[in-house]
Amino acid sequence: MLTVDNVTKYYGKKPAVENISLSLGNGLYGLLAPNGAGKTTLIKMLTTLLTPTSGEILYCGTPIEKLGAEYRGLVGYLPQRFGFYRGNTPEQYLEYLAALKGMPGEGLAEKIDKVLDKVGLSGSKKVKMKKFSGGMIQRVGIAQAIMSDPKILILDEPTAGLDPKERVRFRNIISAMSKERTVILSTHIVSDIESIANRVIMIKDRRVFRDSTVPELAGELEGQVFEASVPDGEYEAFEREYFVLSARQEQGSMAVRFYSPSPAPYKAAEPNLEDFFLVTYR
């Protein structure tokens, strides 16, 4: 169990996160927030790259600072900006990272092969990464995060650059992994969280705003999300009156999905997590 106990982080005099408290057991947690809300700061504190200004982070009741290498050995981390050596092949780079992760040499080659196969890179394991596309690099990043079979998997914007097929594959991998470990997925792609997250943690104004399930969050907007077809000439006026969640141009009109706290003379729609995200951070 990973516990975040009233953690605050200041950069100089500016607060990045304030009084964050969370309990994270096994399962997949989606970390949702707009830019600058404090997601990456929280993640960096969970990965010991940053030290909280106050509060502490505990793993099974022991502060992670005290556990040190023992804790880090349990963590698999994919940063937002995944660094790599252009001249290395994925196999070489994973070997390098495996040493840093303290993984034993025995059986390492098989583990690397297995994990590259899992992310669909077994055919490119001996190709230098300078020849890789952005999506392939990201897959190497995912591979290194999961290769040590971590108890805590922290992924910061993991699906950036992945095509839909790869994204589905990724979701399946981490979803399966989350049964026996804590997986924290920080992303802007709401659909990634919506389909697989057990719980969603939303941060607003540097604090935890919501810590709930997807149905519960979406359910808060029950009866407040509508769909309409608005003629082209009337769209601007419509936008001024209602909070438009999405709009799609059709022949002579705009197919609109919008939020209205009070009943509106339009067809009600089933609210989803993205609606809740947009309404919360509007």
Which one of residues 1, 6, 54, 85 is an interface residue with other proteins (CB under 8 A)? 85
Query: DSSP characters for 247-276?
Result: EEEETTEEEEEEE-SS--SSEE----HHHH
Nearer of residues 21 and 51 to other proteins, judged by Cβ: 51
Residue in the structure block whose two tokens are 């196999």: 91
For the CB of residue 81, give the shortest distance to other proteins in the complex, in Å.
Answer: 5
Interface pick for other proteins out of 21, 34, 49, 261 (rule CB under 8 A): 49
Contact 37/204 with Cβ under 8 angstroms? Answer: yes
Of 76-84, 183-191, 198-206, 216-224, the segment contacting other proteins by CB under 8 A is 76-84
- Location of structure tokens 């706290």: 261
Residue ranges of E strands in 14-160 = 14-24, 27-32, 54-59, 62-63, 75-78, 152-156
Cβ atoms of 151 and 183 closer than 8 Å: no
Length of the chain: 282
Q: Say if residues 62 and 7 touch (Cβ distance below 8 Å).
A: no
**Residue 75 or 116 having the CB closest to other proteins:** 75
- The 131-160 site mask, x for binding other proteins (CB under 8 A), equals -------------x----------------
**String of contacts with other proteins for each residue 97-116, x by CB under 8 A:** x-xxxx--x-----------
Q: Least separation, in Å, of the C-beta of 135 and other proteins?
A: 15
Interface residues with other proteins (CB under 8 A)?
A: 44, 47-51, 68-69, 72-73, 75, 77, 79, 81-86, 96-97, 99-102, 105, 144
